[in-house]
Amino acid sequence: KAGVTQTPRYLIKTRGQQVTLSCSPISGHRSVSWYQQTPGQGLQFLFEYFSETQRNKGNFPGRFSGRQFSNSRSEMNVSTLELGDSALYLCASRISMNTEAFFGQGTRLTVV
Amino acid sequence: AQTVTQSQPEMSVQEAETVTLSCTYDTSESDYYLFWYKQPPSRQMILVIRQEAYKQQNATENRFSVNFQKAAKSFSLKISDSQLGDAAMYFCAYLLSGTYKYIFGTGTRLKVLA
């Protein structure tokens, strides 16, 4: 069974640009969550989608957005990139509420 | 608001020895789940062990076991017979029942000495 797949693995972008990250969950998993990991702030929750609906959003500016498709694949978008957006972005999927999340290997975003 | 605290930024253990990583949390809820995840240099978060708050029995997975003290809001991870492959960042995580959002601790870096 394939795990959670995140693409791309690495990205370098310039300040002011926008970026789209992709996440394919484990087959059968309808919930996808996104987390930002930085050395200073640790792991912070971005948002969570279930059956194409955003059910929860973390405390991030509106420049961070996401969506989920009917096949449960999810994308997150960051517009007007800032240097502080440099981070490891982790996607996780779970089969249902109250179950453990399975994580992808992350996308390392560097903003220069 | 719920919080998770890992007070040990770094720990070291000799190969084949036992080490315990600490985690405390704060919540006013009674129904929740606790997890330990491992993040090796490959960056992928790997589930180590899971504990349901309503279960009094401590969870065990091979060499990994927890000491869950609900009243004290403590959830420590014991790694027995430590192996070089156990070297990683370990994160404690809280999940409120009925939600999808993890609250993570700041992590403990575990070094295993040969």
Q: Which two tokens stand for residue B100?
A: 């999808």
Strands B10-14, B108-113: pairing is parallel
Nearest CA in chain A to B42: A105
CB contact under 8 A, B42 and A105: yes
Residue A1: the pLDDT is: 66
Looking up tokens 């062990």, which residue turns up?
B49
Indicate the residue of B35, B44, B105 with minimum beta-carbon distance to A105.
B44
> What number is the average pLDDT over the span A70-83?
97
Cβ partners under 8 Å of residue B98, min gap 6: A97, A98, B31
Residue type, A106: G
**B14 part of contact set with chain A, CB < 8 Å:** no
The DSSP string of A6-60 is: EE-SEEEE-TT--EEEEEEPPTT--EEEEEEEETTTEEEEEEEEETTEEEEE-S-
Interface test with A, best of B29, B45, B55 (most A CBs within 10 A): B45
User: Is the torsion defined by CA of A60, B53, B81, A3 positive or negative?
Assistant: negative
Binary contact (A43, B46; C-beta < 8 A): no
User: Residue B81 CB: number of other CB atoms within 10 A?
Assistant: 11
Interface test with A, best of B2, B32, B100, B106 (most A CBs within 10 A): B100
B58-109 pLDDT per residue, tens: 999 999 999 999 999 999 999 999 999 999 999 999 999 988 889 999 999 9
pLDDT of residue A64: 98
pLDDT attached to residue B1: 81
User: Which residue from B minimizes the CA distance to A50?
Assistant: B100
Name the token pair of B24.
């405390």
Structure tokens at B51: 């504990």
Per-residue pLDDT tens digits for A4-58 = 999 999 999 999 999 999 999 999 999 999 999 999 899 999 999 999 999 999 9
